[in-house]
Amino acid sequence: MKIEKDKADIYTLWNIVKTLRGENGCPWDKKQTPQTLKKYLIEETYEVLEAIDKEDPEEIREELGDLLFLLIFIIYLYEEKKLFTLKELFYFTAQKMIRRHPHVFGKEVAKNAEEVISKWLKIKREEGKESSVLGNIPKSLPALQRAFRLGERAGRVGFDWEKAEDVLDKIQEEIEEIKNSLKIPSKEKLKEEIGDLLFTIANFSRKLNINPEEALKISLNKFEKRFKMLEKEIEKRGLVWENLNIKEIDKIWEEIKRSYESDNY
């Protein structure tokens, strides 16, 4: 199958899926369903996010291509079952985007991004898509990201702290509640209080215009790098993990932190 670069489009991928699902296609592809492909959709999305973080255009192009191909594959499966077609999907999505941007495609006016969001939410309510200001934020989102989005939605109607500093008092309050919960032998109560603390921290991050999911990712990457350096340093010194106590390990850890602070480790 030969593909000309200047003629490649979405239907090129569509025809590849059609061939893979055909009589002489791929045994693996012919077995797939939307349910079996869900996990790959999540994986491919995260690979796109990682590529964007690396800011490598070639890797971003490749990962977006993988994600697009998977989306086309899933759409093809629904068309194959005669539930809806690719053209219908294009049509209804285009209609929705035009309807939700009356300040662009109609006569309404939106002076700034905040007005756009307000109009967007109003239109969605009129469509019957959302009965709550919180909307339908997927429960399958990473919990920290969902906390950020829920706080953001509630904040749009004024259910929010005035400034980030105000949230610090709430964080302290939640810490005190955790301390009190430690006195009560209830794992469920402690779990609830820890959740409250994490939710409050997510809101503190939001008030500073920092996505907590991204902030945590940075910290996790930093910890991973430092810990691997710690492992190498212990090996380099001829030491054995099992023979070291926490104070000795922490001393080496602090040395590594000081050595690499200037390199943003």
Range of the domain at 9: 5-88
Length of the chain in terms of residues written = 265
| Residue in 23, 20, 57 with CA at minimum distance from that of residue 37 | 20
Domain-embedded: residue 171: yes
Domain-embedded: residue 138: no
Same domain, 16 and 77: yes
Domain-embedded: residue 13: yes
Q: What is the pLDDT of residue 234?
A: 94
Domain-embedded: residue 137: no
Domain-embedded: residue 133: no
Same domain, 150 and 202: yes
Same domain, 119 and 151: no
Q: What is the pLDDT of residue 265?
A: 45
Same domain, 160 and 198: yes
Same domain, 14 and 40: yes
Same domain, 29 and 50: yes
Same domain, 122 and 149: no
Same domain, 71 and 84: yes
Q: What is the pLDDT of residue 174?
A: 95
Same domain, 160 and 183: yes
Q: How many distinct structural domains can be found in the chain?
A: 4
pLDDT, one tens digit per residue, over 70-113 is 999 999 999 999 999 999 999 999 999 999 999 999 989 988 98
Q: What is the pLDDT of residue 1?
A: 75
Q: What is the pLDDT of residue 130?
A: 67
> DSSP states of the chain as a string?
----GGG--HHHHHHHHHHHHSTTS-HHHHH--HHHHHHHHHHHHHHHHHHHHHT-HHHHHHHHHHHHHHHHHHHHHHHHTTS--HHHHHHHHHHHHHHT-HHHHSS----SHHHHHHHHHHHHHHTTS-SSTTTT--TTS-HHHHHHHHHHHHHTTT-S-SSHHHHHHHHHHHHHHHHHHTTS--HHHHHHHHHHHHHHHHHHHHHTT--HHHHHHHHHHHHHHHHHHHHHHHHHTT--GGG--HHHHHHHHHHHHHHHGGGT-
Walking along the chain (265 residues) 10 residues at a time, the average pLDDT comes out as: 88 96 95 95 92 94 97 97 97 95 92 85 78 82 91 88 94 94 89 95 95 92 93 93 93 88 55
> DSSP states of 109-174 as a string?
---SHHHHHHHHHHHHHHTTS-SSTTTT--TTS-HHHHHHHHHHHHHTTT-S-SSHHHHHHHHHHH
Domain-embedded: residue 23: yes
Q: What is the pLDDT of residue 259?
A: 81
Q: What is the pLDDT of residue 264?
A: 53
Same domain, 24 and 69: yes
Within its chain, how far is the Cα of 157 from the centroid? 24
Domain-embedded: residue 119: yes
Q: What is the pLDDT of residue 62?
A: 97
Same domain, 197 and 218: no
Domain-embedded: residue 192: yes
Same domain, 19 and 35: yes
